[in-house]
Structure 1
Amino acid sequence: MSSALCACSCASSATPCNAATWSCPRTSSPSTSASASGPCTMAPSASRAAASTSSRRGSASPSRSCGSRPAGLWTAWAGAHSAPNTTSTPPTNGYAVRFSLMNTPALGRAEGAAPAARFFSAILTMRQFLAACRILGLGALALAVLVLGAGSCRPAARPQKAEPRSSRALPAEVMRAVLVPSYEQRTAYSGELQSRRRSMLGFELGGRVQALLVDEGELVREGQPLARLDPRSREALLQQSSAQLAAESAVLKELSRGARSEIRDGARAQVAELVAQLRLAEIQLARRQREKGEGIAAQARVDEGLAKRDALAARLRQARSRLAELENGTRPERLAAQRARVDALSAQQRQLQLDVERCQLRSPFAGRIASRYLDEGRVVRPGEPVFELVESGQLEARIGVPQQRVAQFRVGSEHALRVGSTQCKARIRSLSPIVDPRTRTVTVIFELEAEETLRPGASARLLATRTVASPGFWLPTSALSKGIRGLWSCYVLVPQKDSGAHRIERRELELLHTSGERVFVRGSLRSGELVVRSGIHRFVAGQVAVPRLRQD
């Protein structure tokens, strides 16, 4: 057995143990060695002999042996587990590590030793333990080198034939890019449905509301009474005016027809009587004047005759004028004045009649009562709203359109409108001549037939289509990925001439228009190329893929 495998306290010294005497060179006798350093047992028989010798000599410390078989199991144990009767001196470094070779037959045979001392029969210093570990590590390294060298001596394995690239390529669903010269852009403009006629109804006069004849939501016909004011005061004024008009009308009628024949005959008789009286007065006056000249009559009698003659002459002139008036009829000036008085009273009567009629509120057109604003008994002012009436016939839609798009709308043209879920056709009735200052749009007025599902105030959308002359491609949105600088990109499969496989390349695109799940793009894409339409997250540029063409 080589002394290099000894693991006793002299393992780190320059001089190895003496295999013939089983003692360390630093001791002079086996007994001294056993008590100081401990003998090195190189064989099981030697270990048993040394243990017997130590037992016969009555040594206080157990024999420390190191095994020579590498198959043993080394076990570490703390110094506190050693036997209390052990008198061996610990190593000079202050701690010890105990190891025992479990397969050593001499273990546990020492007489008088504690069980721990019999199990752990060797004490090594830390420096000796590290030296043993270095030796074991060098051995393991040498073994590894031998194993690697033996493996390198084996014949090289035959390289396997690489599988073709196409067998490892991912399948890609593709479509063929088709260049189109233009695209249609559909734009929706919003507006509101309105009744063609809509009125806030109220009384033209003030007064107390006597009755409301309709309620909200009711359909009314044109001219139907809706509400009524108290008319009694205006009816009384109307009766008074009617009486005055009747009186003045009778006077005018009399003046227009002239005097009756009896009156004219009486006037003629009066004239004839006055003529006779005047003639008599003149005869009497002439007689009195002759008598005065003869000195028979006084001057007083002559003066009385003169006065009587003059009075009768005046009365005759008046009677003749009256007779001429009766015979000629009423003067035109007087007839005109009387007619004016009659016309004034007639106008007053008509006004009062209208006031009485205006005490009743009527529907100006057929429609539906949208709102009611007051109840019976309220005193209202002239023009105060009572009802809101909307026409129940045709509807109109007022939709604002940008100024640059007005040119494509013509009066009389038909367009499609969408009101909620209902789509209907409408005709342009007129275009507003001004621009709305708030929205900066031009109002386009559409007229459409009223339906049960359409209500005034609902939102209406105008769907307009415009053709944009710009070449490009229609692609699904699933074929695009976000690019840089505001652009988008797609993947195309380009066939390789040498291998026949398809390699993925990137194409930068500009997005022009979006329509549902499709987009219209232009860019570096060429007509006829195979575009990956879905699952683009599985591919990168330069990757090999197998195309699966899908025709829409």
Structure 2
Amino acid sequence: MKAMNVEQGFWRKRMETIESVEGGQDVGNGRRRKLLILAGIAVAVLALIAFFALRGGEGPAAQGPSLPRVTVVAPGRQSVTNLISATGNLAARREMPVGVAGEGGIVTRVLVEPGDWVSKGQVLATVDRQVQVQQSAQMHAQIAAAEADARLAQNELERAQKLVARGFVSQADIERKTATRDAALAKVRLASAQYNEMNARLGRLDIRAPEAGLVLARAVEPGQIVSSASTALFRMAKGGEMEMLARLAESDLATLAVGQTALVTPVGTTTSFTGQIWQLSPVIDPLTRQGTVRIALHYDKALRPGGFAAAEITSGHVQAPLLPESAVQSDEKGNFVYIVDGENKVVRRDVKTGAVSNAGIAILSGLTGNEHVVLSAGAFLNPGDKVIPERAKARP
């Protein structure tokens, strides 16, 4: 209260001076009382200021803003289904290009369209065969002529054999006639082989399906000239079977095996299709460090080869922390959570997420499960902020 005594002494001297002046000038008592009241008010204000100054700024304004309270949880570890997410293209599991097997020519008819189902050996298109038909008829006639020569040679041989016992025909004549008969029979076989070859060529002018399946594409029209050097005229999916070519990181690929199930969702639809891994890539791309997983799918009109799809592959169960979606955030660096350390300061922790379910998000790496993880309000915090943590129970 020393400061208050100083102020009182100052105002006492001031009032004495005023009284002496006023007394000299014969001022009335009313004005003197008014000055005394004003002086008292000023002394009270200064006394309050001095009081708070002497307390070292311990007033309400000096206490600063209160620390925010955040809810935290120690999630622990529990068994969760390990799902691996992947993207890739859809394709025919066994795509068959169909082209010209013979000498080709002018296409006369195209009998199928993309989307048609065909059976094995079904004609897809025909090529003009007028010249080949005439050649086939010519060879058929040659067979008839060769057969006639063979019959004549056989008859002459039989007559000569009857006369050889009487001495009218020598043994040398018999041998010559036998050779003539054999040559005639060989010509018959030759003509028959040539005729069969021509018929086979005629058959190859019909462009046929090598296996039963689905026609995916058609690249030929009537009047088009085709040959064995032409590109594929049709593309087919054997049996209509489809697949997804999923690209996965090397580490994820190592956890998979043939026969595991996958859920495939084509882009543009909410319908998912169940498939199975039927082949794992034996080679890893040295640049991307990725490999291909081939997921077999049954035919459906929503599965269009060349389309894009997403897949979730079940790869067993893992022990991992499970957090609600509100606790996991993401930015350009990836997914992360905020934890509160022993000094009640906010710390960023980068994490790798796994399966997402109604129970929460599995954290595959980045957490041990014993940390105090901020459940919500992470968007309003920054690393290094000091908070008051309030413990909550882990979500089941």
Q: Where does residue 533 of structure 1 map in the other structure?
A: 376
Specify which of 94, 99, 110 is matched with residue 212 of structure 1. 110
Counterpart check, 1:423 vs 2:320 = no
In structure 1, how many angstroms separate the alpha carbons of the residues matched to 2:109 and 2:330?
Answer: 72
Q: Where does residue 505 of structure 1 map in the other structure?
A: 344
Q: Classify 1:374/1:461 alpha carbon distance in 2 versus 1 (closer, same or farther; 3 Å).
A: same
C-alpha displacement of 1:432? 4.0
Alignment deviations for residues 191-212 of structure 1 (CA, whole Å, 9 cap, x no partner): 2222233333333222222222
Alignment deviations for residues 50-107 of structure 1 (CA, whole Å, 9 cap, x no partner): xxxxxxxxxxxxxxxxxx99xxxxxxxxxxxxxxxxxxxxxxxxxxxxxxxxxxxxxx
Q: Classify 1:198/1:341 alpha carbon distance in 2 versus 1 (closer, same or farther; 3 Å).
A: same
Tell me, yes or no, if the aligned pair for 1:177 and 1:473 is still in contact at 8 Å: no
In structure 1, list runs of 5 or more residues that go unmatched.
1-41, 43-67, 70-139, 272-318, 495-503
Alignment deviations for residues 199-237 of structure 1 (CA, whole Å, 9 cap, x no partner): 333332222222222334333333222222221111111
Counterpart check, 1:242 vs 2:140 = yes
Q: Where does residue 379 of structure 1 map in the other structure?
A: 225
Specify which of 346, 353, 356 is matched with residue 514 of structure 1. 353
Counterpart check, 1:225 vs 2:225 = no
Alignment deviations for residues 471-526 of structure 1 (CA, whole Å, 9 cap, x no partner): 767465558899xxx9964458x9xxxxxxxxx92253522223668584867995
Counterpart check, 1:148 vs 2:42 = yes
Tell me, yes or no, if the aligned pair for 2:336 and 2:351 is still in contact at 8 Å: no
In structure 1, how many angstroms separate the alpha carbons of the residues matched to 2:379 and 2:77?
Answer: 24
User: Secondary structure of the equivalent of 1:412?
Assistant: coil
TM-score, structure 1 normalization = 0.49
C-alpha displacement of 1:541? 6.0
The residue type paired with residue 148 of structure 2 is: A
In structure 2, how many angstroms separate the alpha carbons of the residues matched to 1:456 and 1:210?
Answer: 29
Counterpart check, 1:399 vs 2:297 = no
The farther-off stretch of 189-198 and 236-245 is 189-198
User: Secondary structure of the equivalent of 2:139?
Assistant: helix
In structure 2, list runs of 5 or more residues that go unmatched.
1-24, 29-33, 52-58
Q: Where does residue 457 of structure 1 map in the other structure?
A: 306
Alignment deviations for residues 385-424 of structure 1 (CA, whole Å, 9 cap, x no partner): 4333334532223333344443333233433333343333
Q: Classify 1:533/1:511 alpha carbon distance in 2 versus 1 (closer, same or farther; 3 Å).
A: same
Q: Where does residue 189 of structure 1 map in the other structure?
A: 86
User: Secondary structure of the equivalent of 1:227?
Assistant: strand
Tell me, yes or no, if the aligned pair for 1:177 and 1:531 is still in contact at 8 Å: no
Q: Classify 1:542/1:413 alpha carbon distance in 2 versus 1 (closer, same or farther; 3 Å).
A: closer
The residue type paired with residue 148 of structure 1 is: A
In structure 2, how many angstroms separate the alpha carbons of the residues matched to 1:242 and 1:266?
Answer: 36
Q: Classify 1:330/1:457 alpha carbon distance in 2 versus 1 (closer, same or farther; 3 Å).
A: same
Counterpart check, 1:369 vs 2:215 = yes
In structure 2, how many angstroms separate the alpha carbons of the residues matched to 1:530 and 1:268?
Answer: 119
In structure 1, how many angstroms separate the alpha carbons of the residues matched to 2:124 and 2:199?
Answer: 19
User: Secondary structure of the equivalent of 1:505?
Assistant: coil
C-alpha displacement of 1:238? 0.9
Q: Classify 1:252/1:452 alpha carbon distance in 2 versus 1 (closer, same or farther; 3 Å).
A: same
Q: Where does residue 204 of structure 2 map in the other structure?
A: 358
Q: Classify 1:346/1:491 alpha carbon distance in 2 versus 1 (closer, same or farther; 3 Å).
A: same
Tell me, yes or no, if the aligned pair for 1:192 and 1:459 is still in contact at 8 Å: yes
The residue type paired with residue 118 of structure 2 is: V
Matches within 5 A, 1:96-107: none
Q: Classify 1:523/1:445 alpha carbon distance in 2 versus 1 (closer, same or farther; 3 Å).
A: closer
Tell me, yes or no, if the aligned pair for 2:103 and 2:228 is still in contact at 8 Å: yes
The residue type paired with residue 350 of structure 2 is: L
The residue type paired with residue 92 of structure 2 is: S
In structure 1, how many angstroms separate the alpha carbons of the residues matched to 2:330 and 2:285?
Answer: 41
The farther-off stretch of 177-186 and 223-232 is 177-186
Specify which of 291, 295, 320 is matched with residue 442 of structure 1. 291
In structure 1, how many angstroms separate the alpha carbons of the residues matched to 2:242 and 2:67?
Answer: 60
Matches within 5 A, 1:90-489: 144-149=38-43, 172=69, 174-180=71-77, 186-203=83-100, 204-255=102-153, 259-261=157-159, 271=167, 319-321=168-170, 325-326=173-174, 330-331=177-178, 337-384=183-230, 385-420=232-267, 421-435=270-284, 440-464=289-313, 474=323, 477-478=326-327, 489=338
Bigger radius of gyration: 1
C-alpha displacement of 1:147? 3.9
C-alpha displacement of 1:349? 0.8
Greater RCO (Cα-Cα under 8 Å, separation 6 or more): 2
Tell me, yes or no, if the aligned pair for 1:199 and 1:388 is still in contact at 8 Å: yes
In structure 1, how many angstroms separate the alpha carbons of the residues matched to 2:324 and 2:184?
Answer: 94
The residue type paired with residue 240 of structure 1 is: Q
In structure 1, how many angstroms separate the alpha carbons of the residues matched to 2:201 and 2:216?
Answer: 27
Q: Classify 1:336/1:460 alpha carbon distance in 2 versus 1 (closer, same or farther; 3 Å).
A: farther
Q: Classify 1:190/1:247 alpha carbon distance in 2 versus 1 (closer, same or farther; 3 Å).
A: same
Q: Classify 1:530/1:237 alpha carbon distance in 2 versus 1 (closer, same or farther; 3 Å).
A: closer
Q: Classify 1:397/1:381 alpha carbon distance in 2 versus 1 (closer, same or farther; 3 Å).
A: same
In structure 1, how many angstroms separate the alpha carbons of the residues matched to 2:311 and 2:328?
Answer: 31
Q: Classify 1:413/1:473 alpha carbon distance in 2 versus 1 (closer, same or farther; 3 Å).
A: closer
Tell me, yes or no, if the aligned pair for 1:234 and 1:356 is still in contact at 8 Å: yes
In structure 1, how many angstroms separate the alpha carbons of the residues matched to 2:135 and 2:330?
Answer: 87
C-alpha displacement of 1:369? 3.2
In structure 2, how many angstroms separate the alpha carbons of the residues matched to 1:334 and 1:403?
Answer: 75
The residue type paired with residue 431 of structure 1 is: L
Q: Classify 1:536/1:411 alpha carbon distance in 2 versus 1 (closer, same or farther; 3 Å).
A: closer
User: Secondary structure of the equivalent of 2:248?
Assistant: strand
In structure 1, how many angstroms separate the alpha carbons of the residues matched to 2:280 and 2:46?
Answer: 95
The number of residues matched between the two structures is 339
Alignment deviations for residues 235-262 of structure 1 (CA, whole Å, 9 cap, x no partner): 111111111122223333454566345x
Bigger fraction of residues in strand: 2
Tell me, yes or no, if the aligned pair for 1:395 and 1:447 is still in contact at 8 Å: yes
Q: Classify 1:200/1:336 alpha carbon distance in 2 versus 1 (closer, same or farther; 3 Å).
A: same
User: Secondary structure of the equivalent of 1:234?
Assistant: helix
In structure 1, how many angstroms separate the alpha carbons of the residues matched to 2:133 and 2:227?
Answer: 19
